[in-house]
Amino acid sequence: MNRFFIYLIKRLYIKLDSALPSHESKNICGNCYKCCTAAARQKVSSLEEDYINHFLKEKGFPSSLMEEYEKFLSLRLNLYNSSARDILCPFYTKEKKNCFIYPVRPYSCRIYGNYAIAVEDLPEKCAYRKLVSLYNEKNLIKVIPCSEDYASIAALYKVYIKYLTFIGRLFYKS
């Protein structure tokens, strides 16, 4: 993965983590892991998917894990597949009750619970229901830290990938 984008996403996560409310550092979730199932419908950018893949390769994890994660992400975004709701993210370990890609977990996982459009968007027993800050389309940038930077970096990465694909096709043709 391109080093410049690794630098950008790492820097963004550091900035975001320091801007999140301080209860983020305490374990207020207890035994709950609902937001690590397909019931939570957060999106993940292609930049973050590639960054996670880079992390897995670096740590020597099998590539099948990334394939499982991609399947999980597509299940998570399928609003009509209610039978998939309990499927767990392949990076969550029930035994240790943690996310084993925690340092590189996506933006949406980092902000989950702290920000939502409506309290009802969080699971019924979510401890963050009492702490959540609500946002809407108009105030999103003001309310959610680093949201503008995140959108810009993710968009820039998409352009970069398109450019690489274009160049690749040119070489393939010649």
Residues engaged in binding ligand SF4 (CB under 6 A): 29, 32-36, 89, 91-92, 99, 101, 105, 109, 112-113, 123, 126-128
DSSP state for residue 100 in the 8-state scheme: T
Task: Please state, in angstroms and rounded to a whole number, the distance separating the CA atoms of residues 22 and 126.
Answer: 17
- Distance linking the first and last C-alpha atoms of the chain: 25
Nearer to ligand SF4, 62 or 168 (CB): 62
Q: How far is the CB of 116 from ligand SF4 (least distance, A)?
A: 10
Q: How far is the CB of 74 from ligand SF4 (least distance, A)?
A: 14
φ, ψ for residue 126, nearest 5 deg: -65, 130
Nearer to ligand SF4, 1 or 129 (CB): 129
Nearer to ligand SF4, 43 or 169 (CB): 43
Q: How far is the CB of 166 from ligand SF4 (least distance, A)?
A: 31
Nearer to ligand SF4, 30 or 60 (CB): 30
Which residue has 């996982």 as its token pair? 109
Nearer to ligand SF4, 1 or 127 (CB): 127
Q: How far is the CB of 85 from ligand SF4 (least distance, A)?
A: 13
CB 76 within 8 A of CB 41: yes
Task: Please state, in angstroms and rounded to a whole number, the distance separating the CA atoms of residues 43 and 107.
Answer: 9
Q: How far is the CB of 11 from ligand SF4 (least distance, A)?
A: 20
Strand 133-134 vs strand 115-116: parallel, antiparallel, or unpaired?
Answer: parallel
Task: Please state, in angstroms and rounded to a whole number, the distance separating the CA atoms of residues 122 and 67.
Answer: 27
